[in-house]
């Protein structure tokens, strides 16, 4: 495998967001696979415990622990080979215990707090606090080195985070502002600031997954505009998911289908009752033409955001590991990884 | 698709004057809001006095109902046929304002002002974690009590889990009743002798909290909790009243899903949960179903026919021909169109079959749940005519 430039070469933390139902988790997993080439080690993080990653890779529920979940493309193919994808499901409770252990060496006090409902407390009345713990875990993994030495290599070449949906992403990532409403000073504030420094650096990019439907496109544009307001935040690519390519050139689709000609072609192909079939197929073709026209408009709206765009074809057979690898290959071909 | 499952009869529900609340629930991105709005419009045009409560509508859908801002007040929808004597109002939920109003209703002005200014209250009332669900239910309770409408159609928030809106009031209640809160309240309350030992333990924990959060955060949290505690009784009563409302005979739940594994998994959880809570499930609306028009032609035969009409990509022809590829004539333009139409049809048949398989995982588990399939629409709904059309599809009118 030859080294080549991708669109996001300097990025080490890939945050993937998208409206619910657009396939955000699937695209995050495909991106992690796509990044895990040439022996690279990638961590795929699930930020909202739904165990979607475990389901995608057909594994039992993931614990709060980094585990190898898949092998990247090209393994066994001689030099370079594939890389490894590790996965981690972060929950606020585990992240709180981690935080206390890491900064105060207080795991047992953390357990006491958990029993008292600290996590409920944080997630219920101050979700900013639990967001800071979750994003904090992701930035820690991004910056982790094999040894504490600043010159040693990073443990993970890239981290991909399956983040909360578009509607909440700015709030989720804008941890510093969110926490500053609550804490003007103090340890949690300085932790939030250091997390924000990683998120608002060229090392981090926020990718948006969208389908070519009205609501997802609108939310994507709104989300991009919102993140562009935050100083230093890097908006990444727009991944158009579940795209259905046009079956004919656009100018051909614009024409009224000639039902008689269609019927004679169908008859030539050996199909019976070609006349009634031609009518039905023409109706399907017409619906497809309208769909293509509509999605072209939506695509143009997304293009106006000025971000690199990648298009992933709809997997009619459903999503399994083979389909994920197919999506990863599409991302690679288009330069996303 | 499934002869065993009864057909969901939307008209029978909306024509029944005893039906007072219809809750549309399901995971995000399945067309819940459109379904709610279409049911509301159809009910209004069949003579009901309807209010549609939406949480987060698509801009153009909101515009189709004349909603331009999030103003928390039901607005009359123009263009609705009044021949049957009905009317339609619609509103978008402003959760922060709804929360503020609840606080103002339950606390004296000074205390209300103190709560509204507290940073923890502000985080709570404007965050999306459960508050939206809670406030949607609160608003539903208010609309129902006002007695101005004889049918309220609610669209539930696009939660992480479809069940969040059932759990949110309970979660907030449990939280406010929780031990941590009791602990935070302790310094503000008179210390009784027998709590001394406990207090020693508490101070260790508050000490830890101070260390993590800082003293100011802890003080703010204590102030908030103390202020909130005094009005919490009122909150709990309201939440319980709303819960009872959802169990009442006039309420129907419609679970909305798309023929996708995730959406139907959520739908399954929902069906089971409603049963546990003794909440009345009316049925499942299976949205965005792709129905091929020419079902007689299978995917395999359609693809085979396409191949006979076009040269194979590698240059050989699928037609029985011994001619070298270079001598094959270019396919006639009509054949190119026909082949494309056949491939399109094959893909639709495959998609349709996959959707059927996914749907059967639901129907085989819940054979008694009434189901209605709504075909995928080629375009988005952006006016009342579009909503009316969805209403017809929901009533299974071709």
Nearest CB to B205; choose among A112, A187, A261: A112
CB contact under 8 A, A294 and B378: yes
Indicate the pairing of strand B151-155 with strand B21-25. Answer: parallel
Residue of A nearest to B180 (CA): A116
In B143-280, DSSP assigns E strands to: 151-155, 251-257
Does A266 touch chain B if contact means CB atoms closer than 8 Å? Answer: yes
Residue B5 falls within a domain, yes or no?
Answer: no
Query: Which A residues in the span 190-209 are in contact with B, Cβ-Cβ below 8 Å?
Result: none
Buried b (16+ CB within 10 A) or exposed e, A91-108: bbbbbbbbbbeeeeebee
* Same-domain status, B22 and B93: yes
Poorest-pLDDT segment among A77-81, A296-300, B3-7:
A77-81
Greatest Cα pair distance, chain B, in angstroms, is 103
Domain regions of chain A by residue span: 13-244+314-330, 246-306
ipTM score of the complex?
A: 0.82
B200 near B186, Cβ under 8 Å?
A: no
Whole-number average pLDDT of chain A: 89
Nearest CB to B338; choose among A127, A213, A265: A265
Sheet holding A158-162, edge to edge: A67-71, A84-89, A41-46, A158-162, A13-18, A204-210, A235-243, A309-313
Does A16 touch chain B if contact means CB atoms closer than 8 Å? Answer: no
Sheet holding B251-257, edge to edge: B75-76, B87-92, B49-54, B151-155, B21-25, B251-257, B281-289, B371-375
Give the mean model confidence (pLDDT) for residues A61-75.
86
Domain count, chain B: 2
Query: Which A residues in the span 292-311 are in contact with B, Cβ-Cβ below 8 Å?
Result: 294
Give the mean model confidence (pLDDT) for residues A255-259.
91
* Same-domain status, B43 and B57: yes
* Same-domain status, B362 and B253: yes
Of the residues A25, A48, A97, A124, the best mutation for testing chain B's interface (the one with the most B CB atoms within 10 Å of its CB) is A124
In chain A, DSSP assigns E strands to: 13-18, 41-46, 67-71, 84-89, 158-162, 204-210, 235-243, 309-313
The alpha carbon of residue A271 and the mean position of all alpha carbons in its chain are separated, in whole angstroms, by 44
* Same-domain status, B334 and B377: no
In this predicted model, what pLDDT tens digit does every residue of B47-98 receive, in sequence order?
999 999 998 777 778 888 888 776 788 999 999 999 999 999 999 998 889 9
Of the residues B217, B228, B307, B318, the best mutation for testing chain A's interface (the one with the most A CB atoms within 10 Å of its CB) is B217
Poorest-pLDDT segment among A102-116, A242-256, B309-323, B359-373:
B309-323
* Same-domain status, B214 and B108: yes
Among B221, B101, B70, B329, CA closest to A121 = B221
Nearest CB to A116; choose among B59, B183, B343: B183
* Same-domain status, B172 and B313: no
Q: What is the pLDDT of residue B84?
A: 95
* Same-domain status, B36 and B80: yes
Which of the four pLDDT bands, split at 50, 70 and 90, describes residue A190?
A: confident
Residue of A nearest to B301 (CA): A271
Burial class (CB in 10 A: 0-12, 13-18, 19+), B146: exposed
Residue B2 falls within a domain, yes or no?
Answer: no
* Same-domain status, B48 and B33: yes
CB contact under 8 A, B306 and A187: no
Residue B216 falls within a domain, yes or no?
Answer: yes
CA A125/CA A119 separation, integer angstroms? 10
**C-beta contacts of B111-119 below 8 A and 24+ residues apart:** B111/B227, B111/B230, B111/B231, B114/B223, B114/B227, B115/B224, B115/B227, B115/B228, B118/B220, B118/B223, B118/B224, B118/B227, B119/A181, B119/A182, B119/B220
Percentage of chain B beyond pLDDT 70 is: 82
Range of the domain at B166: 10-293+358-394
CA A129/CA A198 separation, integer angstroms? 17
Residues of chain B predicted below pLDDT 70: 1-3, 70, 127-130, 158-163, 169-179, 181-182, 184-204, 312-329, 398
Q: What is the pLDDT of residue B176?
A: 65
CB pairs under 8 A between A and B: 209
* Same-domain status, B199 and B307: no
Does A315 touch chain B if contact means CB atoms closer than 8 Å? Answer: no
CA distance A25 to chain B (A): 12
Residue B1 falls within a domain, yes or no?
Answer: no
B305 near A270, Cβ under 8 Å?
A: yes
- Which one-letter DSSP state was computed for residue B325? G
CB contact under 8 A, A247 and B341: yes
Nearest CB to B29; choose among A20, A186, A282: A20
Distances from the Cα of A35 to the Cαs of A90, A276, A321, in angstroms? 21, 50, 16
* Same-domain status, B55 and B174: yes
Residues of B in contact with A184 (CB under 8 A): 216
Residue B104 falls within a domain, yes or no?
Answer: yes
* Same-domain status, B225 and B330: no
* Same-domain status, B216 and B238: yes
- CATH class, range A13-244+314-330: alpha beta
Nearest CB to B175; choose among A121, A265, A280: A121
Does A248 touch chain B if contact means CB atoms closer than 8 Å? Answer: yes
CA distance A81 to chain B (A): 30
Residue of B nearest to A315 (CA): B351
The CATH number given to whatever domain includes residue B250 is: 3.40.50.300
Nearest CB to B158; choose among A20, A127, A283: A20
Nearest CB to B351; choose among A121, A186, A316: A316
Poorest-pLDDT segment among A53-62, A206-215, B220-229:
B220-229
Q: What is the pLDDT of residue B128?
A: 56
Residue of B nearest to A55 (CA): B262
Tokens 């948006």: give the residue: A208
In this predicted model, what pLDDT tens digit does every residue of A217-236 receive, in sequence order?
999 999 999 999 999 999 99
Indicate the pairing of strand B87-92 with strand B75-76. Answer: antiparallel
Distances from the Cα of A63 to the Cαs of A51, A89, A144, B299, B382, in angstroms? 9, 6, 20, 42, 44
Q: What is the pLDDT of residue B191?
A: 47
Does A313 touch chain B if contact means CB atoms closer than 8 Å? Answer: no
Q: What is the pLDDT of residue B2?
A: 47
Judged against a pLDDT cut of 90, whether residue A88 lies above it is answered with yes
Residue B4 falls within a domain, yes or no?
Answer: no
CA distance B183 to chain A (A): 9
Query: Any bridge partners for residue B286, and if so which?
Result: B257, B373
CA torsion sign for A256, A259, A263, A264 is negative
Buried b (16+ CB within 10 A) or exposed e, A174-212: bbbebbbebbeebbbbebbeebbebbbbebbbbbbbbbb
Which of the four pLDDT bands, split at 50, 70 and 90, describes residue A183?
A: confident
Give the mean model confidence (pLDDT) for residues A1-14.
82
Give the mean model confidence (pLDDT) for residues A167-195.
82
């Amino acid at each position: 495998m030859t080294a080549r430039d991708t669109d996001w070469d300097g990025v080490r933390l890939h945050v993937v967001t998208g409206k619910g139902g657009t396939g955000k988790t699937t695209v995050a997993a495909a991106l992690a696979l796509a990044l895990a080439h040439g022996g690279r080690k990638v961590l795929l993080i699930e930020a909202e415990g739904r165990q979607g990653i475990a389901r995608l890779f057909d594994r039992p529920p993931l614990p709060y622990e980094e585990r190898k979940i898949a092998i990247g493309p090209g393994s066994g193919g001689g030099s370079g080979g594939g890389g490894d994808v590790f996965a981690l499901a972060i929950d606020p409770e585990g992240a709180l215990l981690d935080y206390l252990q890491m900064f105060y060496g207080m795991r047992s006090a953390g357990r006491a707090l958990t029993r008292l409902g600290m996590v409920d407390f944080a997630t219920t009345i101050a979700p900013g606090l639990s967001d800071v713990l979750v994003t904090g875990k992701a930035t820690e993994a991004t910056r982790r080195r094999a040894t504490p030495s600043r010159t040693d290599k990073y443990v993970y070449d890239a981290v991909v985070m399956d983040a909360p949906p578009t509607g909440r992403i700015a709030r989720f990532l804008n941890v510093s502002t969110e926490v500053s409403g609550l804490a003007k000073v103090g340890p949690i504030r300085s932790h939030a600031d250091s997390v924000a420094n990683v998120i608002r650096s060229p090392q981090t990019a926020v990718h948006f997954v969208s389908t070519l439907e009205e609501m997802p496109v609108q939310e994507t544009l709104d989300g991009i505009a919102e993140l562009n307001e935050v100083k230093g935040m890097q908006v990444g690519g727009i991944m158009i998911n579940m795209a259905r390519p046009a079956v004919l050139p656009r100018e051909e689709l614009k024409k009224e289908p000639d039902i008689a000609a269609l019927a004679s072609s169908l008859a030539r192909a050996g199909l019976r009752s070609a006349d009634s079939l031609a009518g039905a197929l023409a109706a399907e073709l017409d619906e497809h033409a309208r769909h293509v026209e509509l999605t072209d408009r939506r695509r143009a709206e997304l293009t106006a955001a000025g971000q690199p765009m990648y298009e992933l074809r709809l997997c009619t057979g459903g999503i399994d590991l083979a389909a994920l690898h197919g999506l990863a290959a599409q991302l690679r071909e288009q330069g996303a990884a | 698709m499934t002869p065993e499952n009864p057909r969901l009869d939307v008209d029978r529900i909306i024509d029944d004057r005893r039906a007072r609340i219809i809750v549309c629930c399901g995971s995000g991105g399945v067309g819940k809001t459109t379904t709610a709005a279409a049911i509301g419009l159809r009910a209004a045009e069949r003579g009901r006095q309807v209010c549609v409560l939406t949480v987060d509508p698509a801009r153009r859908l909101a515009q189709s109902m004349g909603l331009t801002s999030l103003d928390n007040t039901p607005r009359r929808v123009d263009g609705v046929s009044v021949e049957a004597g009905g009317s339609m109002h619609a509103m978008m939920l402003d959760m922060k304002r709804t929360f503020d109003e609840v606080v103002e209703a339950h606390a004296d002005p000074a205390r209300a002002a103190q709560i509204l200014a507290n940073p923890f209250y502000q985080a709570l009332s404007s965050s999306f974690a459960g508050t939206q669900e809670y406030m949607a239910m609160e608003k539903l309770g208010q609309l129902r009590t006002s007695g101005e409408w004889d049918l309220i159609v609610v669209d539930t928030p696009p939660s992480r889990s479809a069940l969040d809106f059932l759990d949110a009031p309970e979660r907030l209640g449990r939280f406010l009743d929780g031990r941590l809160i009791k602990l935070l309240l302790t310094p503000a309350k008179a210390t009784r002798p027998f709590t001394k030992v406990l207090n020693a333990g508490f101070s260790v924990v508050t000490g830890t909290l101070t260390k993590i959060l800082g003293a100011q955060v802890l003080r703010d949290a204590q102030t908030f909790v103390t202020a909130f505690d005094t009005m919490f009784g009122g909150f709990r009563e309201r939440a319980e009243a709303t819960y009872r409302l959802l169990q009442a005979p006039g309420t129907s739940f419609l679970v909305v899903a798309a023929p996708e594994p995730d959406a139907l998994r959520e739908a399954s959880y929902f069906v089971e949960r409603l049963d546990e809570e003794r909440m009345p499930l009316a049925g499942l609306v299976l949205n965005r179903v792709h129905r091929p028009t020419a079902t007689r032609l299978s995917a395999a035969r359609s693809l085979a026919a396409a191949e006979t009409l076009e040269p194979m990509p590698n240059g050989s022809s699928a037609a029985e021909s011994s001619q070298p590829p270079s001598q094959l004539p270019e396919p006639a333009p009509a054949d190119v169109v026909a082949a494309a139409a056949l491939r399109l049809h094959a893909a639709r048949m495959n998609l349709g079959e996959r959707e059927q398989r996914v749907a059967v995982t639901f129907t085989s588990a819940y054979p008694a749940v009434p189901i209605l399939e709504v075909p995928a629409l080629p375009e988005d709904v952006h006016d009342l005519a579009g909503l009316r059309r969805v209403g017809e599809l929901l009533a299974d009118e071709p």
